[in-house]
């Protein structure tokens, strides 16, 4: 039975879905474990050789950021990858110059493209899951671009907090708590904000009793409905991060 304070339980209690989430993602990929090499990385470690066409990486646990050097000497986080997500240039073209860095302690599975394709050929359900997963990752990136282009600073922050609540949160008495793996600077980069602007928005949400912070990284969402109201794309955020 799923614990009432687990991240999966947060999804179930909010979405009434009990067949989705990271546990289901990993179960769908479990048969690949014997074919894969496991890597355990600390925070802010680069993923070794993440983009060669003969390698596939699966995020088993933790959080990975895709970063791109849009300007010389300046890197920007363009995508966040969660358990069950896949890095596979042979199956989905990758943006030139993209690198991958762990944002928390992370376990990765690595295997050759040929091995993965052979497994997919022998298991149509696995092949369907992998292509659906890659399509979901693409949809999440498109949503992120839409948020950057069309939402205000506060709306973007609310969207990321919703994403973190559904992905990382543990529910306890109506409050959803999580540790934000990204630093203030990293969050600001991901949302295309000034770090001081981010701090002001977080303080304002605290004053409104939408959230509370016991430290810079520890966040508790006290009023989920109010947080949703701050983000016009909340339904899309929830759909893409609770149906993963």
Handedness of CA 199, 205, 207, 211 (dihedral sign): negative
Q: To 5 degrees, how large is the angle CA 52–CA 53–CA 54? A: 90
Asked whether residue 15 carries a pLDDT value surpassing 50, the answer given is no
Segment among 14-18, 107-111, 165-169 with least mean pLDDT:
14-18
In this predicted model, what pLDDT tens digit does every residue of 194-231 receive, in sequence order? Answer: 999 999 999 999 999 999 998 878 999 999 999 999 99
The C-alpha angle 6, 10, 13, rounded to 5 degrees, equals 125
Cβ atoms 125, 41 nearer than 8 A: no
Q: Which fold has domain 7-148?
A: Jelly Rolls (2.60.120)
The rounded distance, in Å, linking the Cα atoms of 121 and 143 is 31
CATH no. for 153-242:
1.10.10.10
Other C-beta atoms closer than 10 Å to the C-beta of 194 total 11
- Determine what percent of the chain is predicted with pLDDT higher than 90: 67
pTM of the model: 0.84
Q: CA distances (Å), 177 to each of 50, 60, 173, in order?
A: 32, 22, 11
Task: For 6, list phi and psi in degrees, rounded to 5.
Answer: -90, 160
Confidence of residue 64 (pLDDT cuts 50, 70, 90): very high
Domain range list for the chain = 7-148, 153-242
State residue 75's pLDDT score. 73
**7-148 and 153-242 in the same fold:** no
Q: Is the pLDDT of residue 39 over 70?
A: yes
């Amino acid at each position: 039975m799923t614990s009432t304070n687990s991240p999966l339980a947060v999804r179930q209690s909010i979405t009434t879905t009990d067949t989705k989430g990271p546990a289901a993602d990993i179960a769908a990929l479990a048969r690949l474990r014997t074919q894969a090499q496991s890597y355990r990385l600390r925070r802010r470690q680069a993923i070794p050789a993440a983009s060669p066409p003969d390698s596939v990486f699966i995020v088993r646990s933790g959080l990975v950021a895709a970063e791109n050097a849009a300007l010389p000497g300046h890197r920007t986080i363009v995508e966040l990858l969660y358990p069950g997500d896949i890095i596979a240039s042979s199956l989905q073209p990758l943006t030139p110059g993209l690198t991958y860095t762990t944002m928390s302690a992370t376990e990765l599975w690595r295997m050759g493209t040929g091995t993965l394709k052979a497994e997919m050929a022998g298991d149509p359900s696995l092949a369907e899951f992998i292509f659906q997963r890659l399509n979901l990752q693409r949809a999440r990136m498109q949503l992120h671009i839409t948020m950057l282009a069309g939402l205000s600073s506060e709306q973007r922050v609310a969207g990321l907090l919703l994403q973190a609540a559904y992905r990382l949160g543990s529910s306890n008495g109506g409050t959803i708590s999580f540790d934000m793996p990204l630093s203030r600077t990293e969050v600001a980069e991901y949302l295309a904000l000034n770090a001081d602007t981010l701090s002001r928005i977080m303080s304002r949400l605290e004053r409104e009793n939408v959230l509370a912070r016991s430290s810079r990284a520890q966040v508790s969402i006290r009023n989920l409905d109010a947080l949703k109201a701050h983000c016009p794309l909340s339904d899309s955020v929830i759909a893409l991060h609770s149906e993963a």
